[in-house]
């Protein structure tokens, strides 16, 4: 893998297939943020109808999940772009290292949030799931938009 001076990531060789950082970071972040915003908005509308303090806790729980997913997904994308030119062992270490950091931070954040009154585990899970699915869908679409990567990654059609 190579990291181009124009911010592209690809495989070295005569037929270089690249994926821009826009495809794996910017577009997914924007779509996921929009989806997370919709999740927060829907929760706020539903909480307003209940008119209770637990409703505000649900909105805060969804918003916290959206922020965590955006931060974690962005961290992973940034780390992978930063080490794309490195040896496979370095890529593996970076992927595992960023995963361990995310798990530890998520565990600490969940423990702190769960101790707060009004925390909604359901809201947290739904907000996180909606945002994560949007990020992954946008990232996958960005990568699959590059025909050269499809043939290199999945092999020639049979």
pLDDT tens readout for residues 36-89: 888 888 887 777 665 555 677 888 888 888 888 888 888 888 888 888 788 888
pLDDT of residue 33: 83
pLDDT of residue 11: 47
Structure tokens at 91: 């890529």
Is 15 a domain residue? no
Q: Which residue range(s) make up the domain with 103?
A: 2-8+21-146
Say whether 8 sits in a helix, a strand or coil. strand
Please give the Cα distance from 76 to 72 (Å, whole number). Answer: 6
pLDDT of residue 93: 92
Is 50 a domain residue? yes
CB 66 within 8 A of CB 128: yes
Classify 132 in phi/psi space as left (phi over 0), alpha (psi -120 to 50) or beta: alpha
pTM, two decimal places = 0.68
pLDDT of residue 1: 43
Residue 128's nearest CA partner among 75, 59, 64, 76 is 64
Q: Where does the pLDDT of residue 5 fall: very low under 50, low under 70, confident under 90, or very high at 90 and above? A: very low
Alpha helices in the chain (DSSP H): 21, 27-50, 53-82, 88-114, 121-144, 147-154
Is 16 a domain residue? no
- CA angle at residue 105 from 101 to 107, to 5 degrees? 120
For residues 29 and 21, the model is more confident at 29
pLDDT of residue 13: 44
Is 153 a domain residue? no
Is 14 a domain residue? no
> How many domains would you assign to the chain?
1
Q: Mean of the per-residue pLDDT values for the chain?
A: 75
Is 119 a domain residue? yes
Is 13 a domain residue? no
Q: Which phi and psi (to 5°) does residue 61 adopt? A: -65, -45
Please give the Cα distance from 42 to 126 (Å, whole number). Answer: 11
């Amino acid at each position: 893998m190579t990291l181009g001076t124009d911010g592209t990531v690809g495989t070295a060789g005569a037929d270089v297939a690249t994926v821009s950082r826009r495809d794996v970071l910017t577009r997914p972040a924007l779509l996921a943020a929009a989806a997370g915003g919709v999740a927060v908005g829907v929760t706020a509308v539903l909480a307003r109808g209940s008119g209770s303090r637990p409703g505000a806790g649900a909105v805060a729980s969804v918003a916290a999940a959206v922020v965590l997913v955006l931060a974690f997904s962005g961290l992973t994308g940034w780390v992978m772009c930063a080490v794309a030119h490195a040896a496979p062992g370095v890529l593996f270490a970076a992927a595992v290292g960023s995963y361990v950091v995310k798990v530890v931070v998520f565990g600490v954040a969940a423990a702190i949030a769960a101790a707060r009154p009004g925390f909604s585990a359901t809201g947290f899970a739904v907000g996180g799931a909606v945002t994560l699915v949007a990020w992954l869908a946008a990232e996958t679409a960005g990568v699959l938009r590059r025909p050269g990567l499809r043939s290199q990654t999945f092999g020639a059609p049979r």
